[in-house]
Structure 1
Amino acid sequence: MTETAVAESPNDTAQGVRRRDFIYVAATGAAGVGAASVLVPLISQMAPSADVLAESSTEIDIGAIQPGQAIKAVFHKQPVFVRRLTPVEIAEANKVDVATLRDPQTLEERTKKGKEEWLITMGVCTHLGCVPLGAGEGEVKGEFGGYFCPCHGSTYDTAARIRKGPAPKNLEVPPYEFTSDTVVKIG
């Protein structure tokens, strides 16, 4: 009995490898395109929408605020207090021994250099999120002349630092910058 071996020519082997390589490359390319077509919409839907981007910053004209006066504005759907401190309020805030405060911060740390008369804070009590009084005309300012939270009695001084009551921290200072002498951009 004689065995007959079928011999492959060198061209057949080379061509088979080329076909296999092409199939691997084509399959990998198709998988890559498929993955990209799934990932691009998935990632782009996680980006903030136009209405969220529009609320990412707020510009406030502070030119009409007189010394000793405060206004309420809105930033990220929360109240913001913009207060123009008088020289007396600045002096009182600076003479407080920071070591005696629950959340020790100086007035200088809470304001911008060269603009110490402008105190900008979120108008949300750090205890349970109520809106303190003291920014509006005729509102109760508490015994330290700053803000008073009517919900649980937290009292803040003129630098919006917690002085009395259950609030654990000072009123938060949001990121802000002065774009001119009369306009501040929050956010």
Structure 2
Amino acid sequence: MKLVMRFYNASQAAYSSATKVRGVNVRMALTKCANSMSTNVFCLETIRLNLSVANRIINGHSMSVRSQLSLARRFAHTDVKFPNFENYRRDSTLDINKAARESEDERRAISHAIYYGVGGMMALIAAKESIQGIVAFKGMAADQKALASIEVKMEEIPEGQTKTYEWQGKPVFVRHRTAKEIQCEKEVVISGLRDPQTDEERVQDPEWLVVLGLCSHLGCVPIPGAGDYGGYFCPCHGTHFDGSGRIRRGPAPLNLEVPPYSIKGDTIVIGISE
């Protein structure tokens, strides 16, 4: 600091002498002074400005005090400390010799996880809503859902009689069989049947037979208690079913279908299996 003040005082002395002496000797003296003080940028700049002012005075130009002060402005801020932002930088970017693209994946890992995580979640929600909409559109109508299961009171059907009920838009035959019918159906030799099934496989209680009233040929509705085997007869193409709903004669390929049902006490619940 003492050296700077020494250089500054020397330049000010040169400036003062320039106001009194005119000629080439002043310029030479100031130039020599500047060359000897070239180690300090601040002092050199001050001397250069004072030399310019002295030249203008020598040449007959006058300058105000404000103009002289503005020319002596400080241009070198060597004592200013630049801020250090190392504490705010990520560890992956502290190495100045390492390219930014080498740590790009590490720096963007969290943002990518949030982006793809939220995007994937939104995609799953949209897919779920779409699938639910399609399933609801293709699903069963509300009135059919209300008839997803029906209850039949056994006491409503006398022995040896068949009653027809509607389940999901289809006719269902519920027959209260007699002991003679049960014995007759058990004695049938299944090896000679087109769709071999024993009577025990088709009923839960031997007294009660529950089958869909749709012919397995073309879906016609057979007539209960008719035909050559005392079961069901389809007049459309002459198909005969026995008392267990098994195909015995005609073009039908399969037995009458047994719907899912369960027996709970004195009630038959059609549509819910055990």
Give the TM-score of the pair, scaled to structure 2.
0.57
Partner amino acid for 1:177? S
| Alignment partner of 1:133 out of 192, 214, 223 | 223
- Cα deviation for residue 22 of structure 1 reads 2.8
Q: What are the superposed Cα offsets for residues 44-94 of structure 1, whole Å, 9 maximum, x if unpaired?
A: 222546725433222222212111100001122111100011111111111
Correspondence 1:63 to 2:155: yes
Correspondence 1:23 to 2:111: yes
Partner amino acid for 2:265? S
* Aligned match of 1:5: none
- Cα deviation for residue 155 of structure 1 reads 0.5
* Aligned match of 2:196: 104
| Alignment partner of 1:35 out of 88, 101, 123 | 123
- For structure 1, the residue ranges without an aligned partner over 5 or more in a row are 1-8, 136-140
Partner amino acid for 2:132? S
Relative distance call for 1:176 and 1:151 in structure 2 (3 A) is same
Rounded Cα–Cα distance in structure 1 between residues aligned with 2:261 and 2:247: 21
**Any residues of structure 2 matched to 1:30-179 within 5 Å, and which?**
30-45=118-133, 46-47=135-136, 48=139, 51=142, 52-112=144-204, 115-134=205-224, 141-179=226-264
Q: What are the superposed Cα offsets for residues 136-170 of structure 1, whole Å, 9 maximum, x if unpaired?
A: xxxxx011111000110000111111111111111
Rounded Cα–Cα distance in structure 2 between residues aligned with 1:98 and 1:117: 20
Structure with greater helix percent: 2
* Aligned match of 1:4: none
Using CA pairs under 8 Å that are at least 6 residues apart, name the structure with larger relative contact order, 1 or 2.
1
Correspondence 1:185 to 2:185: no
Structure with greater strand percent: 1
Rounded Cα–Cα distance in structure 2 between residues aligned with 1:63 and 1:124: 25
Rounded Cα–Cα distance in structure 1 between residues aligned with 2:187 and 2:113: 74
Rounded Cα–Cα distance in structure 2 between residues aligned with 1:84 and 1:167: 24
Rounded Cα–Cα distance in structure 2 between residues aligned with 1:49 and 1:163: 34
For the residue of structure 1 that corresponds to 2:252, the secondary structure is coil
For the residue of structure 2 that corresponds to 1:63, the secondary structure is helix
- Cα deviation for residue 13 of structure 1 reads 5.8
For the residue of structure 1 that corresponds to 2:210, the secondary structure is strand
For the residue of structure 1 that corresponds to 2:156, the secondary structure is coil
Rounded Cα–Cα distance in structure 1 between residues aligned with 2:90 and 2:190: 87
How many pairs align? 171
